Amino acid sequence: MKIKEIISVLETMAPLAYAEDFDNVGLLVGNQDDKATGVLVCHDALENVIEEAISKKCNFVVCFHPILFSGLKKITGKNYVERAVLKAIKNDIAIYAVHTALDNHQNGVNKIFCDALGLKNTKILVPKENFIQKLITYTIPENHQKLRNALFDAGAGNIGNYENCSFNSQGIGSYQGNENSNPEIGERGEFVENTEIKIEVTFEKHLQSKILKALFSNHVYEEVAYEIYDLQNSHQNIGLGMVGELEIEMPEKEFLEFVKTKMKAEGIRHSEYLGKPIKKVAVLGGSGSFAIKKAIQAGADAFLTADLKYHQFYESENQLLLADIGHYESERYTKNYIVDYLTKKIPNFAIILSEENTNPVKYL
């Protein structure tokens, strides 16, 4: 099995198009055409993790956080990033990062977080913007079903819990081909009016080339008339953070003790207790201060995230319990999820969970 075949599975789990624009995901180091000897899954691809991969005969490291986040002008081994990259290159080890591609997936980081706490009725906290496009095209009734089904097969027409969604209307189309035309209906130079079906479907924008390929391959016209629009609608199934509900509400202190146990947190910093029970909980793995207002708007009783600064605790505005459980802790089970996913998709292949704890934060 080649590394690129494993990458194909990873991109099914966490499509790179889901990642935030600032992020650096995908294959960071190595050659995708190399034969894979084994996969080591970790949280951070540090030098000690690369050494672990060498010892376990794995030449493909899949990490959550990208070890290469911004550009390198030199690779001399002067810092932890350069040392890890140098060791990987010297030992022909490829490194692949998923990060916000998995953060934004509805079954990714924040669903894993919710599942660890047993939250029910979960939904995205911060839906992804500017990610949906709409295709409008026109064809004859005889071609309508075939074309529409081809668009569905290419990924168009998925809305929330529904698939194969479209709007179809009938009207009269007109055209007149010049001397170089080859019309499906009518003759060159003839003014033609004909019954047509207008098809409207939405799709995730990263599928555009696939959608257009299906359109052109299955349309009967010599000149295909179509329009593509960017929609302002948020994507309700892709985005950062989640909000859900506990089976049974808890007092605030009991709730934080519960979170501390479930997420194996060594300490939790939190805002002032408000004296009300916790039922509805918002979560955002990693740095989530930007979503405090979203958690309040969602009606959450508590918001669990990480990397909160002093003044950001004031932003709870006495409307919810705000808790920083630690960056690593909030993403703790992500690597386990990746291992489970790859093991199910690629059975009888070495998929290994790293034993290295790469959490740089220690507690006294």
Q: Which residues are annotated as a binding site for a divalent metal cation?
A: 65, 103, 327, 331
The span from the CA of 74 to the CA of 115, in Å, is: 42
The span from the CA of 94 to the CA of 179, in Å, is: 56
- Of 109, 22, 29, 34, nearest in space to 64 by CA: 109
Amino acid occupying residue 26: G
Instruction: List strands edge to edge, sheet with 26-29.
Output: 26-29, 94-97, 60-65, 39-44, 351-353
Residue ranges for the binding site? Answer: 65, 103, 327, 331
The span from the CA of 171 to the CA of 164, in Å, is: 22
Measured in whole angstroms, the distance separating CA 42 from the mean position of its chain's CA atoms is: 18
How many CB atoms are closer than 10 A to CB 116?
16
- Give the Å distances, CA to CA, from 89 to 37, 75, 77: 16, 11, 12
The span from the CA of 41 to the CA of 63, in Å, is: 6
Beta strands per DSSP E along 25-156: 26-29, 39-44, 60-65, 94-97, 120-128, 132-139
The span from the CA of 361 to the CA of 344, in Å, is: 32
Question: Are residues 173 and 194 in contact, defined by beta-carbon separation less than 8 angstroms?
Answer: yes
